[in-house]
Chains A and B, each alone.
Chain A
Amino acid sequence: MTTTLTPTEVREPRRTRRPKSARAGGTLHAGPLGYAVLVLFSVGSLFPLVWTAIAASRDNNRLAETPPPFWFGSNLMHNLNVAWNDANLGKALVNTTFVAGVSAATIVFLSTIAGFAFAKLRFRGRNALMLIVIGTMMVPPQLSIIPLYMMVAKLDWTDQLQAVILPSLVSAFGVFFMRQYLMQALPDELIEAARVDGAGSWRVVWHIVFPAARPAMAVLGMLMFVQTWNDFLWPFLVLTQNGSPTVQVAVSALGRGYTPDQSLIMAGALLGTLPLLLVFAVFGKQIVGGIMQGAVKG
């Protein structure tokens, strides 16, 4: 994994809802102790990932030794190859990309129009409905799996990707996130002006809301993509390994089979994680910004 170090720069003040002095903690520079802690945590964050690659590059007999291996062996390509074929990973990657892509795109679209209505339009029951949205953020989706499973069984959707996609489209967080963003990013005057020019609601959405919401839509899309990609419980229940697994199901099957070959399992885990890590290496900055933007401010 290669990440380019950002050049040191004076950080531009963040765009917040109200103009604020840029940062608490002030202009104080972190001391060496601060850096030491950060480096330690970074090593802790990356070590399991790096070690996955190390373990995947060995052969199994060399894994069980003392001291444990700290450097790469020569079997990486071979193990990746075997794991790829054993775990049906090619198909799994295509499936997962499809599921996460469709989910993220749909959630972004629906959240944007709903968020726009909650942020900028007046209608009866607006506050009550918004409360319901916030309430649903607190209800874990896993509590509904049993009836969902019954539905899927009844519709004969087991092993069909739509069984994974449909329940994942409910995202109260998305609606909340877009509402927060549009409240501050979309001036009322713009909507007024378009209204005066005789634009209907859908035209306003198309020509004004979507362009204004584009940055937030990109961030929400990435967050949802990551989340759907890493969904485990529900795909695990409705997809089988031999039918059309997602990456999670395929990787977990590697670990739950009776293969004693740990380095193969690690190769599978590595393959299942790598695509997302690449996304992070490229868009990490935006994803970090998105999570910080979405942080609920009391």
Chain B
Amino acid sequence: MATRHHTAAPPVGEGGAAPAHSRAASDAGERRRARLSRRWQRDVRWSPYAFVSPFFLLFVAFGLFPLLYTGWASLHTVELTAPTDMRWAGLHNYTRIFDDDFFWNAARNTLTIGVISTVPQLAMAMGLAHILNYKLRASTFFRVVMLAPYATSIAAASLVFVLLFGRDYGMINWALHFVGIGHIDWQNDKWPSQIAVSSIVVWRWTGYNALIYLAAMQAVPQDLYESAALDGANRWQQFFHVTLPQLRPTILFTCVVSTIGASQLFGEPLMFDANKGASGGAEHQFQTLGLYLYEQGWVNQHLGRASAIAWTMFLILIVIGIVNYVISRRLRESG
């Protein structure tokens, strides 16, 4: 391959126009290369920002800005009928909420429904994942079937469960009467109604969480089991001393996600209400914070107060997040 060095001046006496022409051409080439490499530099430097900016623009417009604006609106009196007309109210909305028995009632309900839906759900998911982790016939079939509830919409699922939990003709009470348990009023009694609402959540999410645990179990190094087996650990001991510790981060993650999900519960209690209101039962017996927010904002039309509820929920979640972070750091240090 011949290389041409255009940096050296062309030898004299090779004709008149040609050298000039070639020099011009080479200059143009160099300019083009310089321009290209400048563009190249720019491309390398700025294109990553071009790639990530759409996400962040959307996030700022529909995530961050509304979140902060909720905080701002919570300090104002705003009505749904005139959402642009804001009057400064200071912390008035917050004091109103904290004086409202229904707020505390909703907070308690959210906590209890959250616990009775999250704990059994994750425990069952863990057991299922453990079974699915063995060699199985038709394992894909089982996994898909378990995920079917996840494909069912909240509205449809809630409507079916309302019927199944019917007081007089529901399938569940009919099954229970064989065990000698009388007619339970699943809609109007406090605990039964909360259990019924929770069961919709459990039904929809258990299979999904089982798959997440299964994925984490399959990532546990095999040699840990082998060495445990060599030490004489039986299957149960292997599960408790190898699998569970290895799954800690995943368990923590599902706990956080389920907690957030539980704090946001809205559709299930809304659809479960026989009186078609947003009060979560005649005596607010299964009204969650999400439903309370909706009732304040869209039924009673106090958007400012609803914003204060939203912001309170956000602060609670931040506290949960910090606790979660501290726990996981402790775990990492000890593990």
Residues of chain A at the chain B interface (Cβ within 8 Å): 3, 5-6, 8, 11, 14, 16, 20-30, 34-35, 37-38, 41-42, 44-46, 48-49, 51-52, 55, 63-68, 110-111, 113-114, 116-118, 121-123, 126, 129, 132-133, 136, 138-151, 153-154, 166-167, 169-170, 172, 175, 200-202, 205, 226, 229-230, 232-233, 236-237, 247-248, 251-252, 254-256, 258, 262, 265-266, 269-270, 272-273, 276-277, 279-281, 284-285, 287-288, 291-293, 295-298
- Give the number of chain B interface residues (Cβ < 8 Å): 112
A20-B221, A258-B276, A273-B151 known; A146 and B297 CB under 8 Å? yes
Indicate if the CB atoms of B225 and A26 lie closer than 8 Å: yes
Q: Tell whether, in the assembled complex, residue A201 and residue B138 are in contact, meaning their CB atoms are under 8 Å apart.
A: no
Extra 14 A-B pairs, beta carbons < 8 Å, given A169-B58, A296-B253: A6-B140, A6-B141, A21-B222, A29-B134, A30-B136, A48-B160, A55-B163, A138-B317, A150-B83, A201-B50, A280-B147, A285-B140, A295-B216, A298-B250
- Shortest Cβ distance from residue A293 to the other chain B in the assembled complex, whole angstroms: 7
Residue of A nearest to B66 (CB): A144
Are B163 and A45 in contact, with the CB atoms below 8 A? Answer: no
User: Chain A contact residues: over half helix, strand or loop, or mixed?
Assistant: helix
Q: How far is the CB of A269 from chain B (nearest CB, A)?
A: 4
Judge whether B216 and A297 touch: CB under 8 Å: yes
Check A24–B55 contact: CB distance below 8 A. Answer: no
Closest to A30 in B: B134
Contact check, A41 vs B128: say whether CB atoms are below 8 A apart. Answer: yes
Known contacts A29-B134, A117-B48, A285-B144; is A49 also within 8 Å of B152 by CB? yes
Q: Is B51 an interface residue (CB 8 A)?
A: yes
Question: Which residues of B are found within 8 Å of A30, using beta-carbon distances?
Answer: 131, 134-136
Q: Is B59 an interface residue (CB 8 A)?
A: yes
B92-150 residues at the A interface, CB under 8 angstroms: 124, 127-128, 130-150
Q: Report whether B52 and A6 are in contact in the complex, using a CB–CB cutoff of 8 Å.
A: no
CA distance A148 to B303 in the complex (A): 12
12 contacts across the A-B interface (CB closer than 8 A):
A28-B135, A30-B135, A45-B145, A68-B170, A114-B52, A145-B66, A169-B62, A232-B266, A252-B155, A256-B271, A292-B214, A297-B215
Chain A residues with Cβ below 8 Å from B208 are 291
For B66, B134, B155, which residue has the most chain A Cβ atoms within 10 angstroms? B155
Q: How many A-B residue pairs have CB under 8 A?
A: 334
Spell out B's residues near A (CB within 8 Å). 43-45, 47-52, 54-56, 58-59, 62-63, 65-67, 69-70, 73, 83-84, 124, 127-128, 130-164, 168-171, 174, 203, 206-208, 211-212, 214-223, 225, 235, 243, 248-250, 253, 256, 260, 263-264, 266-267, 270-271, 276, 290, 294, 297-298, 303, 306-307, 310-311, 313-314, 317, 321
Bound-complex Cα distance A37 to B271 (A): 30
- Expressed in whole angstroms, the Cα–Cα distance for A167 and B136 within the complex equals 42
CB distance from B124 to the nearest CB of A (A): 8
A113 touches B51 (CB 8 A): yes
Known: A64-B169, A255-B162. A288 touches B250 (CB 8 A): no
A16 & B317 in contact (Cβ 8 Å cutoff)? no
User: Which residues of chain B are within 8 angstroms of A226 by Cβ–Cβ distance?
Assistant: 150-151
Partner of A147, one of B70, B163, B211: B70
Q: Determine which of B66, B152, B266 lies in contact with A273 in the assembled complex, contact meaning CB atoms within 8 Å.
A: B152
Q: B84 to A154, Cβ gap below 8 A?
A: yes
Nearest CB of A to B171, in Å: 5
Smallest CB separation, B43 vs chain A (Å): 5
> In the docked arrangement, what's the CA distance between A116 and B55, Å?
13
Residues B156 and A45 in contact, CB atoms below 8 Å apart: no
B153 touches A251 (CB 8 A): yes
- Asked whether B128 lies within 8 Å of A248 as measured between CB atoms, the reply is no
B52: A residues at CB distance < 8 A? 113-114, 117-118, 129
B150-A66 in contact (CB<8A): no
Selected from A5, A169, A202, A258, the residue in CB contact (under 8 A) with B138 is A5
Q: How far is the CB of B56 from chain A (nearest CB, A)?
A: 7
Q: Do B271 and A255 touch (CB < 8 A)?
A: yes
Are B67 and A144 in contact (CB-based, < 8 A)?
Answer: yes
Give CA–CA (A25, B145) in the complex, Å: 22
